[in-house]
Structure 1
Amino acid sequence: MCFGAFSKYVGYKLLVLALLCIVANILLYFPNGDTRYASHNYLGKYVGCLHGIIGGGLLVLVPAFTFIGIEYDHCRGCFHHENHGRSCSLIASIVVACVGILGAGYCFIISALALAHGPYCYTRDVHSGCCPFSDSRYLMEHADWPLCQDPRAIVKWNVTLFSILLALSGIELILCTIQIINACIGGVCTACNGHNEKCPC
């Protein structure tokens, strides 16, 4: 069947995306490669949500490794009958895809909120840390970005990394949804083959 091969393809794609999410989230802790902001907790409230590490990362690795390891054609882990074994694999695929959707969805939502909220930084007028941007309009008004004096270029740093996380988690959501559809089609074909009926698979 073609479903196992497609699932492996999706699994490898999710593996790469999850690792990229983890790297992007870690970089958020070190603006411009400086560690002192993380050590003194001078970071925005959304940076510490671990949305890229846990959400778009570890929770997406669950379906990634499952899709890579599942053998639809030869799985008999649940039942001795071949079609029952395939059904078991398809159900497992749907369950772990839902886990991936939850993780990627969490990453997507937090990234969107972080972009709308703006970075935490020190300004010329305020000597303590604050969030100088009141709404998401700052994303289009680049002239206001120098308001953040420290960390240097923090607005560009945050916007770039949160945008990357938003895009990566969005792709993860699409891939997990496609895999659920793929597994459902595989279930229909397994049912057809189990009854020796002609089916379009």
Structure 2
Amino acid sequence: MCCGGCAKCLGVTLIPLAVLCTLANILLFFPGGNVESSDHISSEVWCFGGILGSGVLMVFPALVFLGLKNNDCCGCCGNESCGKRFAMFSSIIFAAVGVVGAGYSFIVSAVALNNGPICSSSNGTWLYPFENGDYLGNHTLWEMCDSPQSVVPWNLTLFSLLLIMSGVQMVLCAIQAINGLLGTICGNCCGGDGAV
């Protein structure tokens, strides 16, 4: 398979993942589906892992990967193969940007899952009642959160989705880094003639 065709498939996959990550992060600003004041929103939500890391930063690699299939660069001194190799090399740099963005989102999500959400306890104080992820295996601890209602499953679901999707994004960008390296060495098609 041509390296440019593979890159286009990866780019097509990254776009919906970036949109979903952005939506998941936006939903986290409404804990339990409720509108709360900013100090009642978990601090990890304000890191914008899904919006910046897996969202905005992922758009750039995705667009570059999509454009590689149709790259008709005239290349170095009219050598088309050289231009395609340079385009594949540049995709490695954008793949690295994608890995960094998705990695940021992955780390923020992992920390958020470990810390749990901020919520109101029975005495009305807002705090992080869970530590070291102890609530993940013990659902009876969820009752420590009185408000917002259903905040624990809300945060757990959305941060888990962000964790999984950013992990997939990192894998896809790593695949493109390898694909870009092959395209740089072999040309856009490793089968010989350099056609896309």
Shift of 1:139: 0.4
Runs of 4+ in 1 over 6 A off after TM superposition: none
SS of the aligned residue for 1:136 comes to coil
* Contact 2:2–2:189, Cα closer than 8 Å, also in 1: no
1:180 partner letter: A
1:54 to 52, 55, 79: 52
* Contact 2:58–2:98, Cα closer than 8 Å, also in 1: yes
1:91 paired residue number: 89
Task: State how far apart, in whole Å, the 1-side matches of 2:71 and 2:2 are.
Answer: 9
Q: Which blocks of at least 5 consecutive residues in structure 1 are unaligned?
A: none
SS of the aligned residue for 1:151 comes to coil
2:176 paired residue number: 179
Shift of 1:187: 1.8
Shift of 1:99: 0.5
* Contact 1:56–1:169, Cα closer than 8 Å, also in 2: yes
1:110 to 108, 111, 119: 108
* Contact 1:71–1:89, Cα closer than 8 Å, also in 2: no
Q: 1:177 to 1:192 in 2, by over 3 A?
A: closer
2:155 partner letter: N
Task: State how far apart, in whole Å, the 2-side matches of 1:176 and 1:78 are.
Answer: 27
* Contact 2:91–2:177, Cα closer than 8 Å, also in 1: yes
Kindly report which structure 2 residues correspond to 1:1-201, keeping only aligned pairs within 5 A, or say none: 2-35=2-35, 37=36, 39-71=37-69, 74-76=72-74, 80-125=78-123, 127-190=124-187
Shift of 1:128: 2.0
Q: Which blocks of at least 5 consecutive residues in structure 2 are unaligned?
A: none
Task: State how far apart, in whole Å, the 2-side matches of 1:42 and 1:192 are.
Answer: 53
Give the number of equivalent residue pairs. Answer: 192
Shift of 1:131: 0.3
TM (norm. structure 2) is: 0.91
Task: State how far apart, in whole Å, the 1-side matches of 2:98 and 2:129 are.
Answer: 34
Shift of 1:33: 2.8
1:165 partner letter: L
TM (norm. structure 1) is: 0.89
Shift of 1:42: 1.1
Task: State how far apart, in whole Å, the 2-side matches of 1:62 and 1:140 are.
Answer: 38
Deviations 1:68-120 (A, max 9, x none): 12246622366521121012111110011011001000000000000001110
